[in-house]
A and B are shown apart, each in its own frame.
Chain A
Amino acid sequence: MTNTPTTANVKTPARRRWSRRRINNTLINLLALLILLLFALPAVWIIFTAFRPASEINVKPPIWIPQRLTLDAFESLFGLNPNYASGIPVMNYLRNSTLTALIATTIALSVGTMTGYAFSRFEFKYHTAVFLLIMLSRAVPGVALGLPLFLLMRKYNLVDTTHGLAFVYAAINIPFTAWLMDGFFRQIPKELDESAYIDGCGYWTAFWRIDLPLALPGMAAAGIFAFLASWNEYQIASLLTKTPKAKTFPVGLYDFTSQFTVDWRGMTAMSVLMIIPAVVFVILIQRRLTEGLTFGAVKG
């Protein structure tokens, strides 16, 4: 019985400190949520605009809160409503963007994975120098590359073709893919390969049968990066594609601009189409994303 008041005395300041910490935590949570909501607001606004009727966009006085949601913008974008067809070859853009990104990703991923494996597992002459040179090729900005590429590809009739653009994108994505895969392969213990060699496994078999299956999650991440980079690329596409035959979404967005006005609603509708792959991928890899980027460099 005599003990009870003592424990109560000890407990009170502790409890008070705990509750102050709790208030602190709540404040931090609220502050972070508020900042992030503000941060996401511009993007959310764009997405909402695509689903609003024309009568609510860019009117004076402005209507801030959406009153009504419709799919009008998408109907006119795809030409489903003959009265308001936008006349923009959106299906062409969809096909071109998808094809270009898929071809580029396939090439970049297979070549980049082999390169990353070579750099992570083997020591050879000028190892670091070659690695740096490959990385430096990524540092060449789009315009600097696009101008001479346009002149050269004109000679071989590759301007304004999907395969021409896809090949350029593949080359651009190889360095980053190789860098990511180098990091992923460093995660796989070398002893696995060594025991495979002792069992009589060749280098290629060890790579193909042992390391590659283990690096599949990494390949998925690298592939997503390559796909999105190709899907979103604008500088080179704007120089190398001229007609709906090969134009991709980012270049096609310009169709909504005329000399004095911009069709903001049509543009937001196309923006929503453009971000679909990114949304899907972000949902798929939300957790793994950070791991993939930070693994290699820290533990390598």
Chain B
Amino acid sequence: MARSDSQSQTTAADKRISQPKRSSYYRWKTWFPLLLITPAIIIILLVVAYPMVYSVYISFTPYNLLRPDTTLVFSVDTMFRNYERLLGNKVFWRSVLNTVIFLAVTVNLSFLIALALSQLMARVTRGQGIMRTLLMIPMMFAPVLVGFQFAWFFNATVGLVNNALLGLGIIQQPKAWLVDVPSGMISIMIASIWMNVPMLTIILLAGTLSLPREVFEAAEVDGAPAWQRFRHITMPLLRPFTLIALTVLSLDVARAYDIVRIMTGGGPANRTEMIWTYAGRLAERDSQYGLASAMSMVGVVLGVLFTLYLFRQLIKSRVVY
């Protein structure tokens, strides 16, 4: 009796003591996470948000680095001059079109190749370790290196591709891969796909290996053909991994700039021009920072919309699993 009495007393006492303590905990509970994210917010505001706002502002001015008189003259009448000039600019439309084609082809092809490769590798019974190491070799290369590497391979005079094709007698004359019309874009796409595939494959392979075996065995017993098993079991179960893979890819796609910049620089005659190479050229060569900023705003809006869409999908898939 006495024991239980003392116990109830202590709990009451605990309550009395812990009551104010708890409320301070609750107050902390609102402040603590905010305190934790403050440094990140400050740094991002300083290094990303502030320059972006500044860039929006510049895009409304005729800012030219070499002509101090044009520097940051802002007037409401002329604020959309840069955007108007872009809309009437053929190279701009060409670069937008090239970017869309480039992204559509590389993202889809990289994903399809990675999916096929991951399904193949998931069935490998021997040498998984060696194969994964081989797969990771391209991942060690920086995008700049990938650019230079493929610029060399596709070089017209000393390139390996020409050497090989000439040696095998497939072509008689060396081909200027990076100069000719479809082959310039195709060479850049090959380089980009080569860079993207390993990471995607590894994510999809990890996903495939983590799927429950029983489902597949049951389907096999029921006589579902391989294609149907893949279409109706593997693909839906892989969905969260697919989205991670696409998210990682979307973060990397902008790095394709390095490859284009190095392999062709957007040339010759704007044949492989993309939004980013054109913006960079307007700023660096022509010092037209106003026009370049307007250009990059268009690219940022496109990129942000793409990422927003992917993250919404990612959050949705998190709720399900």
Contact = CB atoms under 8 A, between A and B. Distances in A.
Interface string A26-41: 0011011101110110
Interface string B36-79: 11011101101111111011001000000000000000000000
B30 A137 contact: no
A197 B28 CA distance: 12
Contact of B292 (A128, A147, A171, A231): A147
B105 interface: no
Contacts of A249: 142
B149 interface: yes
B182 interface: no
Centre residue among B30, B198, B280 by max chain A CB count within 10 A: B280
A77 B289 CA distance: 37
B29 interface: yes
A62 B52 contact: no
A99 interface: no
Interface residues of B, number: 101
Binding site secondary structure of chain B: helix
A33 B131 contact: yes
Contacts of B280: 143, 147, 235, 239
A264 B152 contact: yes
A54 interface: no
B106 to A, nearest CB: 15
B153 interface: yes
Contacts of B150: 42
Given A141-B254, A149-B47, A290-B202, A115 B40 contact: yes
Contacts, number: 270
Which of B137, B138, B276, B321: most chain A CB closer than 10 A? B137
Given A112-B40, A132-B311, A293 B140 contact: no
Nearest to A186: B318
A203 interface: yes
B39 A114 contact: yes
Contact of B138 (A39, A118, A167, A250): A39
A291 B141 CA distance: 22
A275 B194 contact: no
A41 to B, nearest CB: 9
Interface in B133-184: 133-145, 148-150, 152-153, 158, 160, 163, 167
A66 to B, nearest CB: 14
Given A42-B153, A118-B37, A138-B251, A58 B158 contact: yes
Contacts of A8: none
Given A139-B250, A232-B143, A40 B134 contact: yes
A28 B133 contact: no
Interface residues of A, number: 91
Interface stretch (B3-11, B84-92, B217-225, B293-301): B293-301
Contact of A171 (B29, B47, B153, B205): B47
Contact of B48 (A37, A111, A171, A279): A171
A43 B138 contact: yes
B138 A286 contact: no
Contact of B258 (A135, A170, A235): A235
A89 interface: no
Contacts of A300: 318, 321
A69 interface: no
A115 B257 contact: no
Given A234-B143, A234-B258, A117 B36 contact: yes
A190 B47 CA distance: 34
B296 A147 contact: yes
A199 to B, nearest CB: 12
A37 B117 CA distance: 13
A229 to B, nearest CB: 9
B138 to A, nearest CB: 5
13 contacts: A28-B123, A36-B134, A132-B311, A134-B40, A134-B44, A139-B254, A139-B300, A141-B300, A143-B257, A234-B258, A253-B148, A293-B202, A294-B241
The 8 closest A-B pairs by CB, nearest first: A232-B142, A171-B47, A122-B33, A144-B296, A278-B140, A290-B206, A141-B254, A118-B36
